[in-house]
Amino acid sequence: MEREEIQKRLKKELDKNRYEHTLGVMYTAGSLAMAYGYDYEKAMIAGLLHDCAKCLPTEKKISLCEKNDILVSKVERENPGLLHAKAGMVLAEEAYGVKDPQILHAIKVHTTGEPDMNTLDKIIYIADYIEPLRCEAPHLSIIRQIAFSDLNQCMAEILYDTLHYLSGRKGSVDPTTQLTYQFYEPYGK
Ligand code: DGI
Ligand code: FE
Ligand code: FE
Ligand code: FE
């Protein structure tokens, strides 16, 4: 599917705020790609689709994963907000015709991250956090600057704040989020 066609379809599938966030992530991912010499069209497609499964019911997200033999962990079952990443990878391929394994992988890991991410993974993870409509996270202004100078340091800062935020909430931390932080922590300043 062409980017414009994907965009039209997402406008119907997502609620208004989520759609606008998605456009923010698309353009921010494109900008980060330009800053780091990465294929910006590819980054924009990944950004556009990263939350494509966000507005599906939990049951639907679980079934998308299970029928593709993707393991749904106990933590994911108990915190279904995590599931839209893996389900989004499946949906991007099945419903939007994405075949590029790097785009699919970036969607898969955009919520928890994973240790030793590739450039596109980091671009999408970071764009999701810093896009212009995001306003609730702390240190956003410095994190937005770091995003354009050092992707690994930026990962460290975002993960630090995310774990701090999660520690004050009821849901449990996904072990992958913890492992991702352990990997990037040394890059923090
Ligand atoms: O889908 P978005 O809201 O755009 O962003 P996202 O996919 O990065 O999801 C962000 C939410 O996911 C945020 O509320 C924090 C939460 N999250 C990230 N890591 C974990 C987590 N929630 C739990 N329970 N455990 C985690 O490890
Ligand atoms: Fe998301
Ligand atoms: Fe995120
Ligand atoms: Fe998002």
| Residue 95: per-residue pLDDT | 97
Ligand 3 center to residue 159 CA distance, Å?
9
Structure tokens at 95: 């419903």
Ligand nearest to the CA of 163: 1
| Residue 158: per-residue pLDDT | 98
Ligand 1 center to residue 98 CA distance, Å?
23
Q: pLDDT for 9-58, tens place per residue?
A: 999 999 999 999 999 999 999 999 999 999 999 999 999 999 999 999 99
Q: Residues with Cβ within 6 A of ligand 1?
A: 21, 51, 54, 79, 81-82, 110-112, 128, 162, 166, 171-174, 177
Residues with CB under 5 A from ligand 4 (ion): 51, 128
pLDDT of 171 above 90: no
Ligand 2 center to residue 69 CA distance, Å?
21
Q: Which pTM was predicted?
A: 0.98
Nearest to residue 109, comparing CAs of 92, 95, 94, 97? 92
Rounded to whole angstroms, the Cα distance separating 154 from 184 reads: 9
Ligand 2 center to residue 124 CA distance, Å?
10
ipTM: 0.97
Q: What is the mean pLDDT of the chain?
A: 97
pLDDT of 189 above 90: no
Ligand 3 center to residue 54 CA distance, Å?
12
Q: Which residues of 46-79 are buried (b: 16+ CB within 10 A; e: fewer)?
A: bbbbbbbbbebeeeebbebbeeeebebeebbeeb
> Structural domain boundaries of the chain?
3-136
Rounded to whole angstroms, the Cα distance separating 35 from 90 reads: 29
pLDDT of 186 above 90: yes
Rounded to whole angstroms, the Cα distance separating 67 from 133 reads: 34
What Rg, from alpha-carbon coordinates, does the chain have?
15
Atom of ligand 1 nearest to the CA of 79: 24
**Closest residue by CA, ligand 1 atom 6:** 111
Kindly report the CATH class assigned to 3-136: mainly alpha
